[in-house]
Amino acid sequence: MDISNETKFLMKKYNIKANKSLGQNFLVDGDIISNIVKSAEITENDVVIEIGPGLGTLTNELLKSAKKVICIELDKRMIQILQDRFYLFSNIEIINQDVLKLNLNEITEKEGESIKIVANLPYYITTPIIMKLLEDRLNIESITVMVQKEVANRLCAKTGTREAGAITYSIEYYTIPNKLFTVPNSSFIPMPNVESEVINLKIRKEKNQDVIDEKKLFKIIKYAFMQRRKTLINALQNTDEGKNKEHVKEILSKLNLDEKVRGEALSLNDFINISNLI
């Protein structure tokens, strides 16, 4: 049975209607699924954490390549299907939880080395999930995920360009990002309104030694992008760090940056230098 028919069969058998508010768009293109698994470079030594396995279509392929697959799924209806579908597999663990509320460090510490995240993410919480995966500083190798195309463009943009947003700096700080391939709407049941893209984020294992205060760095970036059309000096004027305009001006001049520069024109290194001096 092809994946599209299999998906329809499972949905009928379990009386499932896709829940839009949970971002349920099920992948039904076998080539795309193989490509995701291939791009994630899963080997038999890897533990994969899959977020939102849904009906288990991607899970099925992951189970063939990985040492173990840990599935985290919020929708109880899917848990029953996954348990029925994979009852013969000894290398699967199914967790019925909201990934945003889960202590992922506990899981990764238990599993040890060589952990990779793979997912067709629920689009309504793409950013919080990715930020959680990065900020929790999990001991993982990589994140290979399908996201909305626009989000992929932003996440993988070059910092200092128009396509970048505050999150682009976090991505560059924690990872080496790569856009892999585009996925058309027709690869899903039901079809989403947007095109999708698979991206790979390779985790930087070493902490950036140049940064004195991470919290301050990301606070400055956040403020710079909250009003991205303003100059950096003006965007920071209501913050503890930037209220002394003269001080910020001096720092910019020390760093050979124009005093009228906007945050969106700055590289991650520029922000690091500024936050270290402020």
Angle CA 272–179–119, to nearest 5: 100
Q: For ligand SAM, how many residues bind (rule: CB under 6 A)?
A: 24
Q: Say how far apart CA 18 and CA 120 lie, in whole Å.
A: 15
Residue 23 or 177: the one with the smaller Cβ distance to ligand SAM is 23
**By CB under 6 A, residue 32 contacts ligand SAM:** no
Of 37, 70, 99, 248, the residue at the interface with ligand SAM (CB under 6 A) is 99
- Which stretch in 21-29, 105-113, 173-181, 193-201 sits in contact with ligand SAM by CB under 6 A? 21-29
- Which stretch in 46-54, 103-111, 149-157, 215-223 sits in contact with ligand SAM by CB under 6 A? 46-54
Of 10, 32, 47, 54, the residue at the interface with ligand SAM (CB under 6 A) is 54
**By CB under 6 A, residue 72 contacts ligand SAM:** yes
**By CB under 6 A, residue 165 contacts ligand SAM:** no
How far lies 74's CA from each of 22, 122, 146, 218, in Å? 8, 11, 18, 30
Q: Say how far apart CA 119 and CA 63 lie, in whole Å.
A: 13
Smallest Cα–Cα separation from 33: which of 58, 6, 60?
58
**By CB under 6 A, residue 266 contacts ligand SAM:** no
**By CB under 6 A, residue 24 contacts ligand SAM:** yes
> Where are the strands (E) in 134-203, listed by range?
142-148, 175-183, 188-189, 196-203
Of 60, 108, 120, 159, the residue at the interface with ligand SAM (CB under 6 A) is 120
Residues forming a β-bridge with 93: 70
Smallest Cα–Cα separation from 24: which of 100, 75, 82, 89?
75
Of 3, 42, 57, 116, the residue at the interface with ligand SAM (CB under 6 A) is 57
Residue 26 or 223: the one with the smaller Cβ distance to ligand SAM is 26
**By CB under 6 A, residue 25 contacts ligand SAM:** yes
- Cβ(224)–Cβ(263) under 8 Å? yes
**By CB under 6 A, residue 126 contacts ligand SAM:** no
Residue by residue, DSSP assigns 95-121 as: EES-GGGS-HHHHHHHH-S-EEEEEE-
**Scanning the structure block, which residue is given the tokens 């994969």?**
48
- Which stretch in 19-27, 39-47, 106-114, 210-218 sits in contact with ligand SAM by CB under 6 A? 19-27
Q: Say how far apart CA 198 and CA 39 lie, in whole Å.
A: 9
**By CB under 6 A, residue 60 contacts ligand SAM:** no
Smallest Cα–Cα separation from 270: which of 160, 167, 176?
160
Residue 100 or 191: the one with the smaller Cβ distance to ligand SAM is 100
Sheet of strand 196-203, all strands in order from the earlier edge strand to the far edge: 92-96, 68-73, 47-51, 115-120, 142-148, 196-203, 175-183
**By CB under 6 A, residue 141 contacts ligand SAM:** no
**By CB under 6 A, residue 144 contacts ligand SAM:** no
- Which stretch in 81-89, 93-101, 174-182, 245-253 sits in contact with ligand SAM by CB under 6 A? 93-101
Residue numbers at the binding site for ligand SAM (CB under 6 A): 22-27, 51-55, 57-58, 72-75, 78, 98-100, 120, 122, 125
